[in-house]
Each structure stands twice: as C-alpha cells, then as structure tokens.
Structure 1
Amino acid sequence: MRSFTLVPLALVAAIGGVVLVSGCGKSDPRVSAGGATFVDPIMQKWAAEYKGVKKVEIDYVAKGSGYGITNVTGRMLDFGCSDAPMNATEVKAANEAGGEVVHVPVTVGAVAVIYHLPEVPGLKLSGEVIADIYLGKIKQWDAPVIKALNPGANLPGTNVVFVYRAESSGTTNIFTEYLSKRSAEFAKAPGTSKSPKWPAVGVGKEGNDGVAEHVKNTAGAIGYVELAYAKKNNITFAALTNKANKPVAPDAASVTAAVEAAMKVKADREPYTLHPLTFSFTDAEGDAAYPIVGASYAILFKKLPKDKGPAVVEFLKWAVADGQQYAKDLDYAPLPAELTKKAQELLGTVTFE
C-alpha cells in the first residue's frame, strides 16, 4: 500500500501561490509615448508590428509635438515625439528635470497643402502665395497671383478660408519655417513657431485629422497636413514651386530628394545646432525636391530607468531600421541608410540606471 504525507493547507496555499506567480511570468513591457500627429500613422503600424514580433506594447497618444515635449520633460512619457527639435528654453527645462535629452529621427515625410476647389484639380502654388494667404492678404481664389501660377485654370471667386493647427504643433513648425524662408514679411510675424499667432480670419483645428476634416467639408478652404492624412481623407493637394522654380508634388521620391540635399548642409542656427541628427529639410535645393519636408524625432532622456529604458531603446532601434519598410505604403519616405546608422549609434549612447 502506498503511503501519503498530509501537507498542511497553509503550505498548499503558499505553494499554489508560487506556482500561480511563476506560471503567469512577468507581464509584457509597456512603453508609454506620445506627441506629434505627423508620425502617428506609421507609429500605429510600428506598434502593431512590434507587438507581434517582440510582445512589447507601444502606447502612442497623438496630441501634437508640444504635448510630446512637455510630457517627456515631465516624466509622464517614456519618449515623446516632435517634428520641431527642442529649443534652448525647452532643453534647459529638460536638463533641470532629468538631464540631457537626445533627438532620434524616426521618419521623414511631406506636409501637403490641401484645398477644397473641386473645379481646380491640379492647383499650383508657391511659398510666397501661401504666405500671403496665411497673412490674410489674399482673400479670393481668383487673385491675380494665383492665376499667374495656374494659366487656363477655372479659378473661382470663392473666398479663401485658411485652416491652421489650434494646438502646439510640429507640423505647424515645419510649415511656418518654410513660409518664413519664402516670405520676409511672414518671417517677421507670425514667423517660425509651433504655435504662432495667426490673423483672426483663419480657423484653428486640433490635429492633422481636424485640419483635414475642416478643409474637406468647407468650400474654398486651404490647410496643411502630413501627406498620409490627405491621402486617407481623399483630399486634393497642390503642387508647390520649389527653390529651383519647379512645380513638385509630395511623394516619397520628392521627399527623399529634399532629405538628401538638406543633409549636405551644415546647421547654422537653432534649434538644429543644439542637437546632432536634426535637420532643416524645408526649401531644399534640387529640381526634384518637394519644399515642405520634415522629420519626426523621438525625444528621450539620455539616462533612462533600467526597468523601462532597454525596451524604449530597442523599439526605437527597430523603428529606424526594420520599421522603415512600412514607410512608403504609409506615404512617408524611408530614412536614408546613413541616417539610420547614425540614429542607432546615438541610441547606443543611452544608459540605464
């Protein structure tokens, strides 16, 4: 006859508890991120793909570049995204909050100038004309300067309604940087800014989606959004006269041409001089370059907590390399190989404590 040893119930419960804990194992890492809406379409794709490959959750909230900068500085996010590099004031605040920050370019893309004029499918615009629209100086679509750029087009006398981002926005920073390069008057005011003071005749909307929706539903409206939002919402966008005086539409090839040209130019002003691997891609040289191009940067502290830091860095290393395969299908341009290499090297300098 087999003998059995009675085990006290308390011990059984304790053993059961150990088995339960070890059976569940450690929970999958969860990375908290947010900021720029410019990068959101590809970030959501990355999050889905990365979860399948690495079992790591990337929770990204798209609320504008200002949100990304403020909340990574306040330690509310593991990393933030911005299309505008931190300025000196923002860098100082971050240094005081948690030390040095790094800016890692994760994607590059075009800011499309969208408009609602069904009778004009192939509109051409220049930076000077767009600047005057956003200064409130051009009030009708049949203005002589627009006619001159579009000979033979059926331009209506419809009122121009310009739409801008209501919140602090890196897309706005890219857009206003371009207009400031093309118009001395615009450069004085509103100037280059994530949250400029626009003329009262404009309409402010939250996010790229908000701008896209308002333009789509408003006759005579014009706005600026990341190209993916124009495509997703089936909104017509203009070809822009570039620095070489060539009309160029936004696409992966024209973005790549702008990026390659701009990377050859040494940064000579803030905020680009404050951070390696940040570039001004607007109004680049070259016949094929689209003139309103920007990058989204992942911003993170150079010293990260050892519990979450490795997961953050490994995800970003994947995003700038393997993740670039999804760029073209989502209307971005892949990072040049040189920029991917340098981004991964920069991520290699992040430490954990």
Structure 2
Amino acid sequence: MTRSIRSRKVLTGTAALALTFSMAACGAGNEGGSSSSSDGGSDAAAVSGTIKGAGASSMEKAQNEWIAKFTDEAPDATVEYAPDGSGTGREKFINGAVNFAGTDSTMDDEEIAAAKKKGCTGDTIQFPVYVSPIAVAFNLKGVDSLNLSADVIADIFSGKIKTGTTRRSPRRTRASSSPDTKITPVNRSDESGTSKNFSS
C-alpha cells in the first residue's frame, strides 16, 4: 500500500497478516492427476500436468520457492504462478482461469459460490501460507520518525484528521510544528487485499 517512494519513511510496521491460498479443481489446463500410494498417501512423483496460479505479488518469491520444492518431488508437473495482484488472482480463480490463487484475505461465500458456478468441481480450500506486514509511510520534511495510534491513523485515512495540528490526542496526533501542514492520504487505486486488510 505504501512502499517505493524514495523520500518516504516507515511510520508503522505493525500488522502482520496471513495471506490465504485458495485451491479447487477448476479449469486452467490441469491435464494431469495425482495417484495414491499403496499406503493411502499421496504420491507426489505421480503428479503430472500443468497447475496454474495467480495472485499477490508480495508472495511471488515464496511461491517460486514452493514451486521449486514441489517440482523436485513431482518432476512431471509444471506449476505456474502469475504475480498479477491479489484482486486479479481472485478474479482468475473465480472465472476458472487458474487452479489456485494467492490472496491477502479470505474469499467470502458469494465468491466461492461464483467459482463453483464457473465449473470448479472440488471444494474451495483456504488456508494461511504467508505473512505480510503492512507499513504506513510518510513524507514530512524534518521528521525522521512518527508514532501514531491506530485510531489516529484511521482518522487520517478516513479524512477526519486533515492537518498536522488537528488534535484528538495532542501527543500522538501532532505531525508537524507548522499549523498549516495539510495531510494528503495516498492509497492504491487497484483492488488490493492488503488495502482491504489495512482498512479492516
């Protein structure tokens, strides 16, 4: 939500949130299958075909690591993960374009039902696999660190606090010694699971 501007400094790095991984037997070129070993367990080496996934870019490196480990065990399988963003991953999963999606927040019953309608033949399974911290950044000349409460941050992003000297809790809200310092919140315009979790 707030990364990659050169002059920005981290404000908080508090909320660690689990991403979820949704899987079902949807379309997406899942040509192969898996077989069970004689003891009733899954035999990864017998898995073949293509498994497609898409979703959060924040977990791309982790996905690549998991794919490498999995394909070591299942050399006849091809696993692809497109880091298109959490919202796009959910959309592709619901439309049956991928077999799994990496997303920052769980899918609701309506989304799961929509995926079922699009041809997913199995149950949608969701479970946490990755923790992603959320940081709020600021760009304020002469200020190297800022410690704001969750309530104050919420009021800034909802528009209740508009200047650096607006007071709700004087010690925590004050962002600048200048009384006319205007606060301009910036957020992502795309559908983002991280933004959804931050807003929640």
TM-score for the superposition, normalised by structure 2: 0.61
Other structure's SS at 1:105 match: strand
Mark the CA change 1:145 to 1:43 in structure 2 (over 3 Å): closer, same or farther.
farther
Return the structure number with greater relative CO, CA threshold 8 A, min gap 6. 2
Q: Contact (CA 8 Å) 2:162, 2:182: kept in 1 or not?
A: yes
Percent sequence identity is: 28
Q: Contact (CA 8 Å) 2:71, 2:78: kept in 1 or not?
A: no
Other structure's SS at 1:122 match: coil
The two structures, once aligned, show a CA RMSD in angstroms of: 2.9
CA distance in 1, matches of 2:49, 2:177: 55
The AA in structure 2 aligned to 1:114 is A
How far apart are residue 50 of structure 1 and its match? 3.3
Task: Look up the match of 1:285.
Answer: none
Is 1:161 aligned to 2:184, yes or no? yes
Unaligned runs of 5+ residues in structure 2 are 1-47
Task: Look up the match of 1:76.
Answer: 97
Other structure's SS at 2:142 match: coil
Q: Which has the larger radius of gyration?
A: 1
Other structure's SS at 2:162 match: coil
TM-score for the superposition, normalised by structure 1: 0.37
Mark the CA change 1:95 to 1:52 in structure 2 (over 3 Å): closer, same or farther.
closer
Measured against aligned partners, the alpha-carbon deviations of 1:24-49 in whole angstroms (never above 9, x if no partner) come to xxxx96532111234234334545x5
Is 1:120 aligned to 2:140, yes or no? no
CA distance in 1, matches of 2:163, 2:61: 33
Counting only pairs closer than 5 Å after superposition, residues 158-197 of structure 1 correspond to structure 2 as 158-177=181-200
Mark the CA change 1:61 to 1:146 in structure 2 (over 3 Å): closer, same or farther.
farther
CA distance in 2, matches of 1:120, 1:108: 29
Q: Contact (CA 8 Å) 1:147, 1:155: kept in 2 or not?
A: no
Counting only pairs closer than 5 Å after superposition, residues 104-253 of structure 1 correspond to structure 2 as 104-145=127-168, 147-149=170-172, 155-156=177-178, 157-177=180-200
Other structure's SS at 1:130 match: helix
Other structure's SS at 2:185 match: strand
Counting only pairs closer than 5 Å after superposition, residues 251-290 of structure 1 correspond to structure 2 as none
More helix by percentage? 1
TM superposition outliers: structure 1 runs of 4+ over 6 Å? none
CA distance in 1, matches of 2:158, 2:71: 47
Q: Contact (CA 8 Å) 2:163, 2:183: kept in 1 or not?
A: yes
Task: Look up the match of 1:31.
Answer: 51
Task: Look up the match of 2:4.
Answer: none
